[in-house]
C-alpha cells in the first residue's frame, strides 16, 4: 500500500497540543522539510510558495505560509495556520493576501533599523 501523507504518520516527532476540549498532536517539522511537506498536504493547486502570505479567515490575521502547522487528529494529518490556539483555520480557510505593511517595507529594503 502506498504512503498517504494525509493519513499515515509522518516521519517527524509529535508533541501534545492542549486545545481545552481536545488534546491533539502537532508535528515538529524541520525547516528543510517544510516545502516538500506543504506540497504533499496542500489540497489545492497551485501550492503556494513558503514566502507567500495568507489570511486566516477564522482569526482575520495574516501569516507567511512557511509558518504553517501540521496537526494529527482523528487519524489524519491537517494543515493549519499558526493561530491554532486562537481558533485558526485549516488550509481550507487560507486566502491569498498582500503582506502586512511592515513586511512589504522589509522586502523592499526600506525599513530603517
Task: Quick: pLDDT tens for 37-73.
Answer: 999 999 889 999 999 999 999 999 999 999 999 999 9
Q: Where are the beta strands (DSSP E) in 1-113?
A: 14-18, 23-27, 53-56, 61-64, 69-73, 76-80, 94-96
Confidence at residue 3, expressed as pLDDT on a 0 to 100 scale: 81
With a pLDDT cut of 90, the percent of the chain lying above it is 74
* Rounded Cα gap, residues 13 and 87, in angstroms: 23
pTM of the model: 0.85
Q: Which of 31-35, 40-44, 61-65, 109-113 is least confident?
A: 109-113
Cα separation values, 30 from 34, 71, 88, 110, Å: 7, 14, 21, 31
Cell numbers at residue 74, please?
482523528
For residues 78 and 70, the answer to whether their CB atoms sit within 8 Å is yes
Amino acid at each position: 500500500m502506498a504512503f498517504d501523507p494525509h493519513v499515515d504518520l509522518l516521519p517527524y516527532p509529535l508533541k501534545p497540543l492542549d486545545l481545552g476540549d481536545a488534546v491533539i498532536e502537532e508535528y515538529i517539522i524541520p525547516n528543510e522539510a517544510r516545502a516538500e511537506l506543504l506540497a504533499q498536504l496542500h489540497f489545492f493547486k497551485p501550492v503556494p510558495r513558503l514566502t507567500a502570505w495568507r489570511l486566516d479567515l477564522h482569526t482575520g490575521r495574516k501569516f507567511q505560509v512557511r509558518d504553517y502547522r501540521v496537526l494529527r487528529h482523528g487519524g489524519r494529518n491537517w494543515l493549519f495556520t499558526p493561530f491554532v490556539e486562537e481558533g485558526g483555520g485549516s488550509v481550507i480557510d487560507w486566502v491569498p493576501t498582500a503582506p502586512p505593511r511592515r513586511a512589504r517595507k522589509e522586502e523592499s529594503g526600506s525599513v530603517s533599523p
